[in-house]
Amino acid sequence: MFMSGYFTETGPLAKQARQVGITGPLLGGDGWDSSQILISGGDAINGSYFCNHYNNKDTRPQVQAFLKEWQAAHNGQLPGTTMAALGYDATMLVCDALTRSKGLDSKDLIDALADTEKFPGVTGDITLKDKNGDPPKRAIVVQLDSSIGGNGQKFAKAYEYADVFGDQK
C-alpha cells in the first residue's frame, strides 16, 4: 500500500493499516526519511520501503565527502533527513553557476544555472540544460529496519534515470 505523507503522519497511519488487517508492504516517499517514523510507526512501519533523493549509506564519493564535512561541522552527527543534502546541492549549484556566469547580475546567474550539465551533486548528477526546470534525477529505495540502529534506514537500491527510462531525455 502506498502511503504519501511525512513521517509524523505515516507512522500512525501504518499502525491503523495493520489494525484493520492490511498485511502487505507499505511504500512511501521522501517524507519518510526521519528516524522518528520508527517511533511513531513502531513494528507496523518496520520493513517498509520509501523512495528518496539521498541516503547516508550511499557509497558514492560525493556522498562520502559530504558526510565527512557534515560530521566535522556537527559534532560527528549524521544528517537527520535528506533536507541537508538537498540544501547542500542547491547551494553548491549556485556557487558552481557563479563561477561560470558571464556576469554577476541575476540574468547571468539564471543563464549559468540553466546551462548546468552533469553537476556531481550529493543527490546525484544534476543537468538543467534543455530540461525546462525538470532535471532527470536518481531515485534511492530505502528500507526501514529498526534492528540496524541509528536512523533505521537500510540503503536498498539506487535507480539512475537512464536505468528506468533509457537515454531518452
Give dist(CA 83, CA 53) in Å, integer: 9
Domains of the chain (ranges, CATH numbers): 7-53+138-165 (3.40.50.2300), 61-126 (no CATH)
Average pLDDT value for the chain: 92
Q: Which pLDDT does position 148 carry in this prediction?
A: 87
Are 123 and 54 in contact, with CB atoms under 8 Å apart?
Answer: yes
Q: Can you tell me the mean pLDDT for 114-134? A: 93
- The string of pLDDT tens digits covering residues 21-52 is 999 999 999 999 988 999 999 999 999 999 99
**Which amino acid appears at position 155 of this protein?**
F
Per-residue pLDDT band for 161 (boundaries 50, 70, 90) equals confident
Per-residue pLDDT band for 168 (boundaries 50, 70, 90) equals low
pTM: 0.85
